[in-house]
Amino acid sequence: MKPLFHALTLAAAAAFAMPALASATVGQPAPAFSATDTSGRTVNLADFKGKHVVLEWVNPGCPYVRKHYGAQNMQATQKAATTQGAVWLTVNSTTPDHGDYLAPAKLASWMKEQGAAATATLMDEDGKVGRAYGARTTPHMYIVDPQGTLVYAGAIDSKPSANPADIPGATNHVKVALAESMAGKPVSTPATRAYGCTVKYGNAGE
């Protein structure tokens, strides 16, 4: 297992060393976007004004994503959010040219198999949404408040590893930030460093 975790550590380091992307700014209006979900329906961020919206970047081929889905941590976080009335949008910005790419039907099937509770799963094949937010890793998490302001950006939790055993001892930043924002309080930790695999963008715009 040690070589695997060493490789994963190197992958995470590579993710942090990515060239800078244009990124959304916490405390500022979240970038507007329109994308098609896995069923072919057009989804706009503006559709959910007046609600909290959580954005999650996903790639089923990433060990860090599999960590959180395999342990049911991502699903539990999704369910906790949607039960409280938040909207959860899972975004896949993997280019169709990459081996990790899943076509809409296959991605929808994978999400269903995982028991995911996302409001919608969005296809961002051209990377426009991901680039607008500066999404660097899978997972990479964002929270938009009912006024359309970005109030959190970063990691799902405080343990940057691919080991599911680290989940119980980690602080779930998304749960904490969402609870604070929903209570009308400032988010105590509005930005953290996301960890995971690099988002597999296409060459356009690089």
- Assign 3-class secondary structure to 169-204: CCCEHHHHHHHHHHCCCCCCCCECCCCCEECCCCCC
Provide φ and ψ at 61, rounded to 5°.
-85, -5
Q: Is 29 left (phi over 0), alpha (psi -120 to 50) or beta?
A: beta
Task: State how far the Cα of 164 lies from the Cα of 180, in Å rounded to an integer.
Answer: 26
Distance, CA of 191 to CA of 183 (rounded, Å)? 18
Q: Is residue 204 part of a domain?
A: no
Each residue's pLDDT, cut to its tens digit, for the chain (206 residues) gives 344 434 444 344 334 334 445 678 999 999 999 999 999 999 999 999 999 999 999 999 999 999 999 999 999 999 999 999 999 999 999 999 999 999 999 999 999 999 999 999 999 999 999 999 999 999 999 999 999 999 999 999 999 999 999 999 999 999 999 999 999 999 999 999 999 999 999 985 43
Indicate the burial class of 130 (C-beta count within 10 angstroms; 0-12, 13-18, 19 or more).
buried
State the total domains in the chain: 1
Helices (H), 72-172: 73-83, 104-114, 128-133
Q: Is the distance from CB of 138 to CB of 64 less than 8 angstroms? A: yes
Q: What distance in Å separates the CA atoms of residue 27 and residue 15, rounded to the nearest whole number?
A: 24
The three-class DSSP label of residue 151 is strand
Residue 205 lies in a domain: no
Q: Is residue 55 part of a domain?
A: yes
Q: What residues pair up with 198 in beta bridges, in sequence order?
A: 137
Q: Which residue range forms the structural domain that includes residue 165?
A: 2-198
At residue 138, what are phi and psi to the nearest 5 degrees? -120, 120
**Nearest Cα to Cα of residue 43 among 33, 52, 51:** 33
| pLDDT at site 23 | 73
Bridge partner list, 88: 54
pLDDT of residue 49: 94
Residue 53, domain member (yes or no): yes
We report the CATH number of the domain holding residue 84 as 3.40.30.10
Distances in whole angstroms, Cα of residue 81 to Cα of each of 95, 98, 202? 28, 31, 31
Asked whether residue 110 is assigned to any structural domain, the reply reads yes
Residue 77 burial (10 A CB sphere; 0-12, 13-18, 19+) = buried
Which uninterrupted H or E stretch holds 147? none
Residue 203 lies in a domain: no
- What pLDDT is attached to residue 86? 98
- 63 located within any domain: yes
Measured CA to CA, the distance from residue 19 to residue 131 in angstroms comes to 12
